[in-house]
Amino acid sequence: MKLSVFCGVSVDGFLARPNGALDFLDAGGQEPHGFDEFFSSTDVIVIGRKTFEVVLGFGTWPYGTKPVVVLSSQLLDFSSIQFSSIQDGVVEQMAGEPAEIVSRLDARGFQHAYIDGGITIQSFLAAGLIDRLIITRVPILIGTGVPLFGALPHDISLRHITTRSYQGGLVQTEYEINAEGTQSGGHG
């Protein structure tokens, strides 16, 4: 099973404001930058509870009928009015260590997971489970917020694939995790 991250960050490395707001991501304009193509290559989304709550606030469900796994040890209240935006979406909750989550998804036949949310990305990276990172830097500094990267138990070696720049100022860099240069190796 392949696990990929596709995210937008401020130039100073933040995924969201301290309150979870993503308003600054519009600073690079709305030009296409490969997300639709990336999203169509995935068959399951794995997000943290906080990211899920932010997505519920969008008003419209951005994931269509693609399965979404929300990582949380606290029971989600699916009777909440916020869940009405999901409509035909498929949402389930899981708890456990990243390797356990991947094993359960792999056993169900999923091929390519989109990993999203600050803590979720950080924990899957620390566990050596991410295969690919696509990071789009938005031309803005916000000073504080939810960082993309956090503490790691060891260095993670990356192999640069490509960097693209867009007219609105977005700069997107794609990396593969270099398992040979990573101290804990990847997954199967």
What domains are there in the chain, each with its CATH number?
2-181 (3.40.430.10)
Nearest to 146 by CA among 4, 62, 21, 48: 21
Q: What is the predicted pLDDT for the residue at 54?
A: 87
Q: What is the predicted pLDDT for the residue at 84?
A: 63
Q: What is the predicted pLDDT for the residue at 184?
A: 43
1-30, pLDDT tens digit by residue? 999 999 999 999 999 999 888 989 887 667
Pairing between strand 14-16 and 146-147?
Answer: antiparallel
Handedness of CA 73, 35, 137, 168 (dihedral sign): negative
Q: What is the predicted pLDDT for the residue at 17?
A: 94
Instruction: Please say whether the beta carbons of 118 and 145 come within 8 A.
Output: no
Q: What is the predicted pLDDT for the residue at 79?
A: 62
Q: What is the predicted pLDDT for the residue at 111?
A: 98
Within 8 A by CB and 6+ apart from 123, the residues are 98
Q: What is the predicted pLDDT for the residue at 80?
A: 61
- The low-confidence residues of the chain, meaning pLDDT below 70, are 28-29, 78-85, 180-188
Measured CA to CA, the distance from residue 34 to residue 28 in angstroms comes to 14
For residue 164 the two structure tokens come to: 């693209």
Q: What is the predicted pLDDT for the residue at 122?
A: 95
136-152, pLDDT tens digit by residue? 999 999 999 999 998 88
Q: How many residues are there in the chain?
A: 188
For residue 94, list its beta bridge partners.
71
